Chain A
Amino acid sequence: MALDLPLIWGFILAVGVFMYVLLDGFDLGIGMLTFVARSDEERNMMTATIEPVWDGNETWLIIGGGGLFAAFPTAYAIIMPAFYLPVLIMLAALIFRGVAFEFRHKAVRPTTQKFWNGAFFGGSAIAALSQGVMLGGMIQGINVEGGAFAGGAFDWLTPFSLLVGVSVIIGYLMLGACWLVLKTEGDLFLRARKWARAALAGVAIGFLAVSLATLAIDPSVGERWGFSMTNIDFARLLPLSPAPLAGMFFCAWLWRDLSMPTGQGDAPDWRPYLLAVGVFLSGYIGLGFSLYPYIVPFEFTIWEAAARDNSLAFMLVGAGIMLPIILLYTAYVYSLFWGKVKPGDGYHA
């Protein structure tokens, strides 16, 4: 029996990117939320909820870059030059965000402290925006000729990609706020619930706007979902409809959890984050329906862009052994730092 290796690797890569989004997503969201922190203490509380885990979270991004290189070199060789500037901007933003985790605490003068706090916030926001813009650029398509990128330096910059960029920012804010609901108490916890609710409203609007815009700019996506200028083909829409319906369901449930008076009802503090992941997952699966099986939308399928089968098989052995181990020890480290962060006494189990 021959395994469909490109398909398997497409799936692993998709899971890896999703892991990045839902893990570093809350890091970046909290990075942006530090902007509204009322004091240094509150800002430190916020960063304390992610400091032990952000490094591992960001590593999933290397699965995105390195995994694409390893499993789909042709796609990597097209997508990276196409997004040369947004990749550059994202990397520079992640550099500032990453070192700011440490440098914030080491700066002595108030001006340098402000600089690194600003770098932390700004780096998080710009990284989120550029990730969203690249996603938008992927959906709207890349200009390919003769198997290589043939577009301009700013092809990725369109109103549509900016819309996706802003939506991703709001989505990360929602993940970040929900993470704070899980990890904090008191005033910050109450405000995080408000932030999460506001972000959720934004996410709902953003998803709707991006979906409609996608149908409008990409007729081939519209066709898949059964939408054309004149009518709706329910035979096509119905099998795919669970994804958007699940998204709406998770949005509604999350809204209910976040609106429930605290101390009453049965909404545990871990549920909002999980529901927010549900919202993201529904959107992500919907995106998969729109783009599958293309890895360079609508130019190269995963089979056309894949590395040699012997390379994919060689890596699959490693991934099959290592990914479960990675997930296990990641879960272990998360469980180690489980529980609310309290002011003044560091981490508490």
Chain B
Amino acid sequence: MIPSAFAYERAQSVRDAVRLLESHQGEAKILSGGHSLIPLLKLRLTSPSVLIDIGGLSELRGISAGEDQVVVGALTTHAEVANSPVIKEKLPLLAEAARQIGDLQVRNRGTVGGSLAHADPASDLPAVALALDAVLTLEGPDGRNEIPIGDFILGPLLTALGGSDVVVSISFPIPKGRWKGAYEKYPHPASGYAVVGVAAVLAVDGGGLIREARVGITGAADTPYRAREVEAALIGKPADEETIRQAAEQADAEGSFSGDLFASADYRRHLCKVYARRALARALP
């Protein structure tokens, strides 16, 4: 569990981090909280020749809330998200999910931007980011650009992040009107990652019909996905248990499932439906 040798650079600014990434041409990796990268280094599954430490960049840290959205700096830790009064008030779903990430050490060190950039297919945040339609702000050699979470995560450990891009922040839109969200997770007993994690957001109109529904599912399939068939089965229907029960049956309609030692593909499909139903039931506004 000893990494091979690497050079260490400490970025002075986001610009500087981008410049360093560019100058090392794919040989460098960004180090933020280190809770995804360092285990990989120790196992020698990755051996970048340079680590660019952005841990000291306070510009990347912090939570700010407006009327329409909550913006979380990439370096904000899971613990900060879980304990943030603003997030608890505006997006309790996000705090609820952050509380369930890893263990205390992981939450104290691991960062929101780092977790999304690493794109572990069983990490918790992608489900919530999908359900909230989050948008990431990236900075690269050509300046800043925004990318929706659905376009950002391309596959297991694979994102649209360019070789010289740094995640700056993530903005989570606050749903309008009467709405509620919930995250239901089945943690792997060993790793604590989600065997299945379902984040659900439901908004209803004045007549009690579901106006908006978004369901993000992580862990179960090869990559986190939006359960669009579930959503389609919800919209315009009465916000009740029966609607949810039927819609949740579609939770495995998207996603590519394969099994591992702990859970077969069939079992994962089944858990998707059960956990989708449970998350939706709690998300009834």
Chain A partners chain B = no
